[in-house]
Amino acid sequence: MDNKILDKAKKWTKGNYDLETKEKVSFLIKNDEKELIESFYKDLEFGTGGLRGIMGVGTNRVNIYTIGAATQGLANYLKKNFPDESRIKVAIAYDCRNNSKLFAQTTADIFSANGMKVYLFDSLRPTPELSFALRHFGCKSGVVITASHNPKEYNGYKAYWEDGGQVIAPHDTNIISEVNNIKDVSEIKFEARKENIEIIGEEFDKLYIENLKSLSLSPEIVKKHKDLKIVYTPIHGTGVKLVPQALAAYGFTNIINVPEQDIVSGNFPTVISPNPENAEALKLALEKAQKTDAELVLATDPDADRVGIAVKNLENNFILLNGNQTATILVYYLIKKRIENKQIQGNEYIVKTIVTSEILIDIAKKYNIEYFDVLTGFKFIAQIIEENEGKKLFIGGGEESYGYLAGEFVRDKDAVMASALIAEATAWAKENGKSFFELLIDIYIEFGFYKEALINVVKKGKTGAEDIQKMMSDYRKNPPKKIANSPVILIKDYKLQTAKEPQTGKTSKINLPVSNVLQFFTENGSKITVRPSGTEPKIKFYIGVKSEISLKEEFNKTDKILTDKINDIKKSLNL
């Protein structure tokens, strides 16, 4: 074993660590070398979603000490960054996961001990409500304790900045530097000053819901279709109260719940993983929808920032839509309805991420709406909103990983908001004599049939991280000349910030921050993106293909052609 790892572990058996932690680390040193290495071989780092990992003892695990070091480092940085503030304010929320309340209270205690004013939610709340609270109270920073849709072994720590968005450069690396400067657990101020902590509750929920309601574009249409049957599941998480409240505030009266999944639990007893991207997580909701003949299924992840949906297809069978499809309909609805309502001022824009469907750009172009394409991570969408605040109007946007946003008062993906707007778009489609799915096909007829697929290659632990690094290195050294027999005509390397045409050798600059992402564009219009996850032990392959379609009756045939295209690409890349 690497002596550095052993030395790090031994430090946790001495000093100011609690007795239980010391005993657990001692046990690993004596009995479980593999777990000891995994727990101490590195320190948890901020990725696209902040600090996230498996709960347990060690520097590479989520526990009160790694949470404590992150909080103390953040507190130290806030003091340096805002030296003229008489009292720095922060807000804290947490989700349903095991230990989330403990970690949130620990975070609140440390901030309060550092002399800061802390707004702490009285119980679990959706992540987007934290973003809203941060802006409402004029906070300089905020924290959500969550691991989003990860399995039950995980927890995490999302850090937010004063704009309400997740921390971005240079603050993210500066905070890590402050965390790394903490050499001993004794430097963390765990002793709370309770007078600095203010508990916020249901009154604030009402304010949040009122703001969500202000985004409604079709209140009269909702009145006509208020009995639209909607099945909703929070998958044991924080959406359990606020999503039904938001739907009710919009005017929907026929919300059908899934009682087994209304139970708040960090063990997620009815699912393997509480991820609305996985069909298995929506199984119970789909069964309820079939029994009740519902028209829409909504499922939010544990911290209610992502939403998955299911609708009836042309054969009247429920199917799951992917994040690109939902984003397509939502952005289309937000633009078209604003035009219909004569609410277009000429300064509107949308934002998508580079791995999200190109159809969003086509929609924006046709209706003369400005668009921005940003790196993966909702914090980059928030950054665009912040930069354009007061000059341009953000009407909506999102990412393929089931995260969407409208309006400017929240600066992170918001499944509470998105659920209400998706339901409203369903009512709008119905008012126009179409199902939600038929609306999607109409969009494909207008802009082209885009189909995307995401392939996750999981590589766990230290060796997995090394494998992922090697895969990216190999793609850079020896990029494919052809993918599925179609020549690669453009390679975008976001780490080198260059776009290169292999046939001509022509290169151009990419004006986005450095990111370890590669994109390959082929002659037949396919787009393949390769990206290591910033929050999970996996490397992701995003595949996008396109075909023309002119009639609704051509949908199934065209869908199969595109599926075959995707399978050919997968085979070509050995996926």
Amino acid present at 197: I
Confidence of residue 1 (pLDDT cuts 50, 70, 90): confident
pLDDT of 233: 98
Is residue 59 within 8 Å of residue 66, measured between CB atoms?
yes
Please measure the distance between the N-terminal and C-terminal CA atoms of the chain and give it in whole angstroms. Answer: 33
pLDDT of 195: 98
pLDDT, tens digit, 9 for 90 and up, residues 57-116 = 999 999 999 999 999 999 999 999 999 999 999 999 999 999 999 999 999 999 999 999
Q: Look up the CATH architecture of domain 42-200.
A: 3-Layer(aba) Sandwich (3.40)
pLDDT, tens digit, 9 for 90 and up, residues 279-289 = 999 999 999 99
Domains 42-200 and 214-447 share a fold: yes
Mean pLDDT of 408-429: 98
Can you give the residue ranges of every domain in the chain? 42-200, 214-447, 450-572
Amino acid present at 513: P
**Across the strands, what pairs with 156?**
52
pLDDT at 47 over 70: no
Mean pLDDT of 250-270: 98
pLDDT, tens digit, 9 for 90 and up, residues 450-472 = 999 999 999 888 889 899 999 99
- Three-point CA angle 323, 285, 233, nearest 5°: 75
User: Which residue among 148, 357, 401, 515 is the active-site one?
Assistant: 148
Cβ-count burial of 543 within 10 angstroms (0-12 exposed, 13-18 middle, 19+ buried)? buried
Assign 3-state DSSP to the chain and report helix, strand, coil percentages, each to 5.
40, 20, 35
Amino acid present at 96: C
Confidence of residue 183 (pLDDT cuts 50, 70, 90): confident
Contacts 24+ apart (CB under 8 A), 427-435: 427/218, 427/221, 427/222, 427/224, 427/225, 427/228, 428/218, 428/221, 428/333, 428/337, 430/225, 430/228, 430/295, 431/218, 431/221, 431/224, 431/225, 435/295, 435/311, 435/312
CA 478/CA 323 separation, integer angstroms: 31
Could you tell me whether strands 89-94 and 255-257 are parallel, antiparallel, or unpaired per DSSP bridges?
unpaired
DSSP sequence for 540-572 = EEEEEEEE----GGGHHHHHHHHHHHHHHHHHH
**Cβ neighbours of 85 (radius 10 Å):** 12
- Is 148 annotated as catalytic? yes
Two structure tokens written together for 412 = 């992170």
CATH fold of 450-572: TATA-Binding Protein (3.30.310)
Q: What is the 3-state secondary structure (H, E, C) of 323-366?
A: HHHHHHHHHHHHHHHHHHCCCCCCCEEEEEECCCCCHHHHHHHH
CA 230/CA 203 separation, integer angstroms: 26
pLDDT, tens digit, 9 for 90 and up, residues 107-144 = 999 999 999 999 999 999 999 999 999 999 999 999 99
Beta strands across the sheet bearing 318-321: 255-257, 230-233, 296-300, 307-312, 318-321
Beta strands across the sheet bearing 197-200: 51-54, 154-161, 141-145, 89-94, 117-121, 197-200
Give the homologous superfamily in CATH for domain 214-447: Alpha-D-Glucose-1,6-Bisphosphate, subunit A, domain 3 (3.40.120.10)
Q: Which of 66-70, 147-151, 440-444, 475-479 has the lowest mean pLDDT?
A: 147-151
